[in-house]
Amino acid sequence: MTQPILELNDICYSYHSLKGETDALSHISFQVKKGEFLAIVGPSGCGKSTLLSIIFGLIAPESGEVHFPRDARNEEDEHSQLKNCPRIGYMLQHDHLLEWRTIYKNVILGLEINHQVTPEKTARAMELLKDYGLYKFKDKKPGELSGGMKQRAALIRTLILDPEILLLDEPFSALDYQTRLSVSSDICSIIRSAKKTAILVTHDLSEAISLADRILVLSKRPATIKCDIPIHLTVTGTSPLASRNAPEYQGYFNQLWKEISDESHMPTPPDD
Ligand code: ADP
Ligand code: MG
């Protein structure tokens, strides 16, 4: 986990509309190492989703650049259709499963679009459905599944395309608290065991501390990087739920709360 797979250099972005200009991002620079799990937190409306859209290439920065250093990439990337651009998976808050397709058909949607429906890939889809407890539900429609199951299906749909970098924009926020804990824990172990590089936007500080190797705190809009906090938890076991019992956890929580509340005028945290 040494070389950067992604570099952002001095990114600025504003939205322009008839109502005027909204400055969203101001001089954002950071690197993400291969295999790293980065969380991004910041006040609502500060520009977090805009930042992910720029990394994904949905919108172009006004100034600055997004760079994917080649050294950190796999050899097969030489043949990638978009030169210098790694495969990026983007998972949003809502699962965006298509209601008229079965879970299996939803999971292989990206393969169909990319003309990659091969026996190996469909076998892999079945394997992932089994691993994540969805095999029995593969012929059901999304409406017949719980929120957590649908979010797992959306993750499999993203993972089956074998992305090198996963962008996760508040993927658990539509779930109830208990489901959220177990789905975020599952999804984290899936991402770690697949050794993916991940960038998670979340407003849940506990989730950020328990899942990430490093947390970027953004200021209020236009977002700048307020601080960059590496997370080291001494815990036995790797489950994100267990990490909430680490002795360092409360210190990180208080530090993050202070940084965020300075930005959004939140009250001081409750005592332990
Ligand atoms: P976050 O994800 O941190 O909540 P966003 O990146 O979605 O914030 O938005 C940052 C700012 O840009 C917000 O003030 C939002 O209202 C504004 N914004 C987002 N999308 C658009 C758009 N398409 N046109 C104009 N303003 C936008
Ligand atoms: Mg957002």
Higher pLDDT: 240 or 147? It is 147
> Which residue's CA is the nearest one to ligand 1's atom 14?
45
Residue 241: pLDDT over 80: no
Decide: 123 and 101 in contact? Cβ < 8 Å.
Answer: no
CA distances from 197 to 60, 73, 98 (A): 22, 11, 27
Residue nearest ligand 1's atom 12 by CA: 24
Q: Whose alpha carbon is nearest atom 18 of ligand 1?
A: 15
d(CA 54, CA 56): 5
Counting Cβ atoms within 10 Å, is residue 135 exposed (0-12), middle (13-18) or buried (19+)?
A: middle
Residue 237 makes CB contacts below 8 A (sequence gap 6+) with none
> Does the bond joining 222 to the residue before it have cis omega, within 30 degrees of 0?
yes
pTM of the predicted protein model: 0.88
Residues having CB within 6 Å of any atom of ligand 1: 15, 17, 22, 24, 42, 44-50, 221
Secondary structure (3-state) at 91: strand
Residue % of the chain over a pLDDT of 70: 88
pLDDT in tens, 157-197: 988 888 999 999 998 887 788 878 887 887 787 788 878 89
For residue 8, give Cα distances in angstroms to 4, 33, 51, 54, 197.
Answer: 10, 12, 10, 10, 15
What pLDDT band is residue 78 in, cutting at 50, 70 and 90?
very low
If one counts every other C-beta atom within 10 angstroms of the C-beta of residue 230, the result is: 8
Parallel/antiparallel/unpaired status of strands 37-41 and 63-67: unpaired
Atom of ligand 1 nearest to the CA of 170: 2
